[in-house]
Amino acid sequence: KQETSAPTQCVGPDYKPDRHKPTATVSTDVDFETVTVLPQTPQLIALLTKIRDVQTERGDFIFYSNRIIRLLVEEGLNHLPTVEHTVTTPVGRPYAGLMFQGKICGVSIMRAGEAMEQGLRDCCRSVRIGKILIQRDEESAQPKLFYDKLPEDIAERWVLLLDPMFATGGSAIMAVEVLKSRGVPEERILFLNLIASPQGIKNFATKFPRLRVVTAFVDQGLDEKNYIIPGLGDFGDRYYTI
Ligand code: URA
């Protein structure tokens, strides 16, 4: 398995000299223009440190994951189209602003992706959310589509695809194939995830050059069981069960 070395950097606000900033491991850089990595701020690094820690118990894991999910959704929404929109304020003055254009929906890859649904609902009132269940086929060991329930007008919507851990990219690739087969063009899909592997990013961005990815962090690689390293273990288990 390929593994990159971990980049470290002084983390903190620009006005502070580096000697007054702590050093931490930050995301690996990515070369694909379609992939956005969240700014490596002290907040984000501290939140990720919490959820990576094997000692973090379930309540805290949920709380801190939800905060990162919120940051991902807020950044994801910046990639959707807006149009100019002027309003009048209560003091009778115009304000030349913007408004969102176009309908959206979320699609979670079950089960871990469902953990990201609330973060999307918190930002987009009454948002429609579909689901896709993909599991490894026992015989072929390849990802297999077991179930999907998607809004009937999904072809007219922007789709925010939700899955927290972007490991090999196998499930995400299959989920995108399902969305494309329902008429959603690649350029109207945005894939949001917390931690990605360099391999997953490369597979995906090469296969879907017009699809945008927003991630909080790109890690070093995958282990022999295709867990992301250093990663955080099994996201679904930590969020839902342990
Ligand atoms: N899914 C997880 O939950 N964790 C990983 O590291 C990879 C896939």
Is residue 34 a contact partner of residue 205, using CB atoms and an 8 Å limit? yes
Q: Quote the pLDDT of residue 3.
A: 86
DSSP state, 28?
P
By three-state DSSP, how is residue 216 classified?
strand
- The tokens for 118 are 């609330």
Q: Which domains, and CATH codes, for the chain? A: 8-82+99-240 (3.40.50.2020)
* Per-residue pLDDT tens over the stretch 43-79: 999 999 999 999 999 999 999 999 999 999 999 999 9
CA of 90 to the centre of ligand 1 (A): 50
- The tokens for 179 are 């969305």
Q: Is the pLDDT of residue 242 over 80?
A: no
* Per-residue pLDDT tens over the stretch 97-136: 999 998 999 999 999 999 999 999 999 999 999 999 999 8
The ipTM, to two decimals, is 0.95
pLDDT-above-70 percentage for the chain: 99
Q: Quote the pLDDT of residue 1.
A: 63
The closest residue, in CA terms, to atom 4 on ligand 1 is 234
Cβ(162) to ligand 1 under 6 A? no
Q: Quote the pLDDT of residue 140.
A: 81
